Structure 1
Amino acid sequence: MRQEYLMPWVGLDFGTPYPVWKPILKRKLGDVLQQRADELKAFHCKIVCLIQLSRFQDALKAIVKEPKLSLELVFEKAYCQYRLNQPQEALKTLDSGLTLSSKLKELKAQILYRLERYEECFDVYRDIIKNSNDDYEEERETNLSAVIANICHDDPNRDVPQLREHTYELSYNSACQLVGRGQYGEAERKLKATEKLCRDSIDEEDEGDIEDELGIIKVQLAYCLHMQGREKEAQLIYTAALKQKPDDIGLVAIASNNIIAINRDQNVFDSKKKMKSATLEGLEHKLTSRQRKNIAVNHCLLALYTNQSDQCQQLCARLVQQYPDMGAEATLIRAVQLAKDGKSRDAAVVLDKFASQNPEHQMKMRLAAVQLLLSEGDRKESCRILQNLSEATFKPGIVSALVTLYLADGNLDAASKVLKDAVDWYRKNKVSTGDLSTMWRQAADFHLRSGEPAVAAKSLEELLRINPGDKKTLAQLVLAYAQIDPAKAQVLSKQLPPLDLSQTIDVEALELSNWMMKSKVAKKAAAKIEPSPGSKPGDITKMPSQQTKPSPNPNSPVPDVSGPRQQQRKIQQKKKKKSGKW
């Protein structure tokens, strides 16, 4: 994120060339301070000279050494601390003053920006812009737009003021706002317009300046393409930007990191080389904590992809130490590395332990542990973990997984209990987690097949509550209650629509196809059923004509489809003989 920093100074001529400060410090100020060591103006000038020579540490030492002469030098002290990358101390120095002048507010805004306290920074800049009228208005507006862009990234739905876009810096920051909101297509178009505005704004003779500024714009444009899935286009721009060998180590780090993200587990040697550029010393003052955090995660992933087990574990430990909020990501990477080393059970233990210590990550960690255990064929331990997810155990997906695992082990009682507990929990807590009709239907069918009509009735009642007009569910509920409470079944049956007896119905076939019967009995009964002439099959998919013919291959057994037809034909012939008709 770009930001134009201001360096307001008072009582000095900004036009004084840099080489002049050194002789002023040595000769003129040296003579004055030797004669009068307590001269306030001379001491003040000495501090300013040291700052202009970028000797911030010397200036700060002089200020601390002479507290009486430094009482009025709050700005200079805070500025030295800021330039020495001590923003917290600089903010304390500013807050120690009674009132803040305009130049102190300017410095405070920059310090707050460095500390990533964007909301406070936003308020300070608005106050400065409201109460100032000088030649720095455009620079302040640029700074404010940079703050707004970061706010949009932290809170994409935040309402922010609209600023002008008449300079390429303001246009760039406006594009960054769109990036923060995830509007990458619009940001792409804005950045292309920014690039043209930049070329028109900078003198063609300053070719180096143009390339430096365009490098930032192009890398941000590549990021927009990257996030839209256009990785090849993005990689070309990243690579071209790095070939320019920019002086900005922050720009180099971001482009290198993004190429690593595109490479993933491919071209790892190139990724290892670029990771060195993304982790150089001094980047902590060039990148935001969010950017440094992402690079640190990618460093761990790169060690994972290159099978550097020890380094991966060390980098994960360092990641948690530097960024405690990244504990979940680091734990997952560690677990994957252990699994790749053939230690899936150890990985599951690591995940389960983290889940116990961090309940907010319980679901993600334990599901990952289950996946690793199932890869080892350990269904028993997987079921134990899934049943210890507290209320999450009753989520439809978890219930389905538990039933599937228990059925795979042949444990019908455990599968039945899982469904029964889920039904009871939802009935008791009245929790709505979307459409649960599928779960109720599966639970009812399962308990009906396993001979538990009372439990099935509970699921069917919930289905009716969701869809009161479902006559199919009502009919199933009547049949369920017929086995446990005939009186209630009789009452419910009155809500069913009357049967249409206008068509010929094979009553015997309907009775024998009762879905409540045991599977073995139903199969035996189905073998005795003779289909009524002209009746259509029930829930059977129509077969292609060539598959209804007996196979000529004696080694390929097929159903005896000709048998029932011949038997039926013989019966009809017997009836014709008795009646005397042929």
Structure 2
Amino acid sequence: MTSKENNLSILYIELNKLGRSANNDYEKALKVANKILGLAPDEEAAFKCKIICLIQLSKFNDALQFINKNPKLSTNLDFEKAYCLYRLNQVQEAYNVVEKIQNPSMKIKELKAQILYRLEKYEDCFTVYRDIITNSNDDYEDERETNLAAVLVQLAVNNSKLDVPELREDTYELTYNSACRLVAQGASGDRNTLIEAEKKLRLAEKMCKESLEEDESTEEEIDDELRIIKVQLAYCLQLQGREKEAQVLYTNALKAKPDDIALIAVASNNLITLNKDQNVFDSKKRMKYATNDGLEHKLTSKQRCSIAYNQCLLALYTNQGDNCHQLCKKLMQTYPQLLIDATIVRAVQLNKENKIKEAVNLLLDHTSELFVKLVSVQLLLSQGEKYEAIKILENLNEKDKALPGIVSALVTLYMADNNRDKASEILKEAVNYYKLNKDKSENLGTMWRQAADFHLRSGQIEIAAASLESLLELSPTDKKTLSQLVIAYSKFSPAKAQLLSKKLPPMDHLSEAIDVDALETSNWIIGTKVVKRKIEPSPAGGLLTSDSTGPIVKKRNKRKRKGKLPKNYDANSLPDPERWLPKYERTGYRKKRDRRNRDTAMKGTQGTAAGASDLYDITKMPANVKPSPNPRQSPAVETSGPRQQQRKFQQKKKKKGGR
């Protein structure tokens, strides 16, 4: 044996000891494998040992480069190569490697299931996991069922119609995933499903705490595991409308500063949705965490899509116009399924900037959905652009144009423009559409009813009667239509009205179910003071009255008295025709003189001397004295009394703080 062979033998013995030891010293094993490859580069066993050591040390990039540099030695390392690609988030490349493997082993199937989950091919992933669980029998059954339960949650989120089995719920992970599945099913508004999900989440929280305490986990580890369940519980409460409770749970989870960036992003995004257009400064801070780097491979595409859309809305609420437009464009490119939502957000931003025409053009250019066209009509009508709105509604396809709401809107707009002919034509077109398509649904009846009401209001009785006839054919037992048609016939053909009125039920049948006494005693229209009271005989012989407003009250018997006439009453003389007028409106009324207003010209201020009024009366001034027309050129005249003229009044200055 040569020295080289001897050295290789010694190194393999050392490598074998390291592989069997419980210390898992992969660094030392890697050094030994490198020594072997230094002596013999073609040693396949040492090559594989080095790859495994690099993977265990999480040096996936180094392992992948080493595999790619030595294609001859890596022919049987497809699993290791695919696993390195998977851990480096090159998921599609990992799937391409696994898909080429013929007769895959169990570990390759499990890796393929994980890759399919990351690629969001949940139905294929479900098929692989079901095959693994059916054909395996080892200690990893709980983990596989937990992963399968996670797949079922995503199938429920995506509304898959795949038949799924019922799984066990004897571990907290399985109970948690089962609750998440119920939350996904109840997100559409099924409150009972959400209540059931809440119960399971609280049970999972209790089971998790007990299980980890049995395993002697630290308090920090227990809190980290419970935090995921609590955030999911908060989401369940939020869907139920219990927003304050949800907000407390989200806030407490974020205050603990968890290491899981995906958990932080989800909780932050959900808090933003709770804030809505309020507390935008807090929302801006939360959005930084929700859009942190490294989340691309931690969140599902649906979660990332929701966060991106909320980012656009936040920019809209905070009046960041340019940023809002940029984010919306990016959202359209990244997530085409949100094209309509992003377009509407941009249109609202343009509306805030008073660019109505640009907003309408944007909506009409990007999509032909009816909902978006109605949004553009609403924007135009808010600015008084009636004719532009009519033009958009007129250009709808035949099916959408015949919808009752669209017909009603067009008729209203034409009537506002005093264009009765066009409004009538719209109704006829809608009715003809339903006739041609043999659609006997409620829409046709609604159209006939609208047409009849419209023509009745506009005085076109015969056209209205034709519409009512067609409506009566759809529902021959409709008493309302029958009575309207009788009224319409009575305007132009009394004979037809008389003949048709025989089909109406007799009045006795109509009034059988009517309680006249209840109608008379009810006070739903008239006041309680004028409600007719029902008189009932009392056992004591008197009369008792009852009404709907209170208990039974006793009523006195009033005796009628003869009216009294004045003593000097003359039955032959005519009464005064002005007897009901007030005194001040009668012809003989004379207003009394007010003594307080006498000699007003002689009255002056207190203390005026006799004759002073003549002195200051302008009508009694001499002819040669004329008042000055300009008060600025004449000396000021004191208009106060003589006491102020006799002595000068010097105003005292107030002292600060004095009385």
Compute the TM-score of the two structures, normalised by the length of structure 1.
0.79
Match of 1:396 among 397, 404, 408: 404
State the 1:384 CA deviation.
Answer: 1.2
**Mean alpha-carbon deviation: is it higher for 443-452 or for 136-145?**
443-452
2:362 aligns with 350
What are the within-5 Å matches in structure 2 for residues 300-339 of structure 1?
Answer: 300-339=312-351
Q: Distance in 2 between matches of 1:501 and 1:165?
A: 67
The alignment partner of 2:166 has SS state of: coil
State the 1:470 CA deviation.
Answer: 3.0
2:272 aligns with 260
2:115 aligns with 111
Q: Distance in 2 between matches of 1:499 and 1:366?
A: 45
Amino acid at match of 2:474: I
State the 1:135 CA deviation.
Answer: 1.1
Q: Distance in 1 between matches of 2:185 and 2:20?
A: 40
2:28 aligns with 23
1:280-339 per-residue CA deviation (whole Å, 9 max, x = no partner) reads 111111111010100000000000000000000000011111111110110010000111
The alignment partner of 1:469 has SS state of: coil
> How has the CA–CA distance of structure 1 residues 16 and 473 changed in structure 2, closer, same or farther, with 3 Å as cutoff?
same
**Paired residue total:** 490
Q: Distance in 2 between matches of 1:229 and 1:179?
A: 14
Q: Distance in 2 between matches of 1:499 and 1:197?
A: 70
Amino acid at match of 2:45: K
Q: Distance in 1 between matches of 2:331 and 2:217?
A: 45
| Partners of 1:33 and 1:43 within 8 A in 2 | yes
Q: Distance in 2 between matches of 1:240 and 1:143?
A: 28
1:151-195 per-residue CA deviation (whole Å, 9 max, x = no partner) reads 112127654211111111111001011011112111111101111
**Mean alpha-carbon deviation: is it higher for 124-133 or for 158-167?**
158-167
1:136 aligns with 140
| Partners of 1:40 and 1:69 within 8 A in 2 | yes
State the 1:417 CA deviation.
Answer: 1.5
Q: Distance in 1 between matches of 2:67 and 2:326?
A: 42
| Partners of 1:475 and 1:493 within 8 A in 2 | no
1:406 aligns with 414
> How has the CA–CA distance of structure 1 residues 315 and 478 changed in structure 2, closer, same or farther, with 3 Å as cutoff?
same
Greater RCO, 1 or 2 (C-alpha within 8 Å, sep 6+): 1
Q: Distance in 2 between matches of 1:195 and 1:266?
A: 32
1:363 aligns with 370
| Partners of 1:354 and 1:365 within 8 A in 2 | no
| Partners of 2:290 and 2:307 within 8 A in 1 | yes
1:127 aligns with 131
Q: Distance in 2 between matches of 1:224 and 1:251?
A: 15
Q: Distance in 1 between matches of 2:196 and 2:506?
A: 65
**Mean alpha-carbon deviation: is it higher for 446-455 or for 364-373?**
446-455
> How has the CA–CA distance of structure 1 residues 15 and 223 changed in structure 2, closer, same or farther, with 3 Å as cutoff?
farther
Q: Distance in 1 between matches of 2:20 and 2:375?
A: 62
1:4 aligns with none
1:199 aligns with 209
Higher helix share: 1
Q: Distance in 2 between matches of 1:458 and 1:417?
A: 15
Amino acid at match of 1:414: K
Q: Percent identity?
A: 57
> How has the CA–CA distance of structure 1 residues 497 and 25 changed in structure 2, closer, same or farther, with 3 Å as cutoff?
same
Match of 2:299 among 280, 287, 294: 287
The alignment partner of 1:181 has SS state of: helix
1:170-228 per-residue CA deviation (whole Å, 9 max, x = no partner) reads 11001011011112111111101111001100025511111111110000000011011
Match of 1:62 among 63, 66, 77: 66
What are the within-5 Å matches in structure 2 for residues 485-564 of structure 1?
Answer: 494-497=499-502
Matched, 1:209 2:221: yes
> How has the CA–CA distance of structure 1 residues 31 and 12 changed in structure 2, closer, same or farther, with 3 Å as cutoff?
closer
State the 1:500 CA deviation.
Answer: 10
1:190 aligns with 200
| Partners of 1:293 and 1:323 within 8 A in 2 | yes
| Partners of 1:471 and 1:496 within 8 A in 2 | no
> How has the CA–CA distance of structure 1 residues 498 and 409 changed in structure 2, closer, same or farther, with 3 Å as cutoff?
closer
Q: Distance in 1 between matches of 2:125 and 2:391?
A: 50
Q: Distance in 1 between matches of 2:459 and 2:370?
A: 33
> How has the CA–CA distance of structure 1 residues 462 and 44 changed in structure 2, closer, same or farther, with 3 Å as cutoff?
farther
2:394 aligns with 387
Q: Distance in 1 between matches of 2:172 and 2:235?
A: 18
**Mean alpha-carbon deviation: is it higher for 121-130 or for 405-414?**
405-414
Q: Distance in 2 between matches of 1:256 and 1:270?
A: 10
Match of 2:41 among 33, 37, 43: 37
State the 1:148 CA deviation.
Answer: 1.0
Q: Distance in 1 between matches of 2:21 and 2:106?
A: 22
> How has the CA–CA distance of structure 1 residues 138 and 329 changed in structure 2, closer, same or farther, with 3 Å as cutoff?
same
The alignment partner of 2:76 has SS state of: coil
2:79 aligns with 75
1:573 aligns with none
Q: Distance in 2 between matches of 1:64 and 1:150?
A: 35
What are the within-5 Å matches in structure 2 for residues 566-577 of structure 1?
Answer: none
Amino acid at match of 1:69: L
What is the alpha-carbon root mean square deviation over aligned residues? Answer: 2.7
Match of 1:250 among 248, 262, 283: 262
State the 1:433 CA deviation.
Answer: 4.9
The alignment partner of 2:477 has SS state of: coil
The alignment partner of 1:337 has SS state of: helix
Amino acid at match of 1:177: R
Match of 1:378 among 367, 374, 385: 385
> How has the CA–CA distance of structure 1 residues 288 and 42 changed in structure 2, closer, same or farther, with 3 Å as cutoff?
same
Structure whose alpha-carbon radius of gyration is higher: 2
| Partners of 2:331 and 2:338 within 8 A in 1 | yes
State the 1:490 CA deviation.
Answer: 6.6
Amino acid at match of 2:202: K
Matched, 1:88 2:92: yes
1:163 aligns with 167
1:277 aligns with 289
Q: Distance in 2 between matches of 1:127 and 1:299?
A: 41
Amino acid at match of 2:198: E
Q: Distance in 2 between matches of 1:502 and 1:246?
A: 77
Amino acid at match of 1:401: A
Match of 1:426 among 434, 451, 457: 434
> How has the CA–CA distance of structure 1 residues 501 and 387 changed in structure 2, closer, same or farther, with 3 Å as cutoff?
closer
Structure 2: 5+ residue stretches without partners: 1-16, 187-192, 509-523, 531-659
Matched, 1:234 2:246: yes
| Partners of 2:364 and 2:372 within 8 A in 1 | yes
State the 1:492 CA deviation.
Answer: 8.8
> How has the CA–CA distance of structure 1 residues 462 and 209 changed in structure 2, closer, same or farther, with 3 Å as cutoff?
farther
2:541 aligns with none
Q: Distance in 1 between matches of 2:269 and 2:528?
A: 61
Amino acid at match of 1:371: Q
State the 1:453 CA deviation.
Answer: 5.1
State the 1:136 CA deviation.
Answer: 0.9
Amino acid at match of 2:207: L
> How has the CA–CA distance of structure 1 residues 313 and 15 changed in structure 2, closer, same or farther, with 3 Å as cutoff?
farther
Structure 1: 5+ residue stretches without partners: 1-10, 357-361, 504-540, 548-582
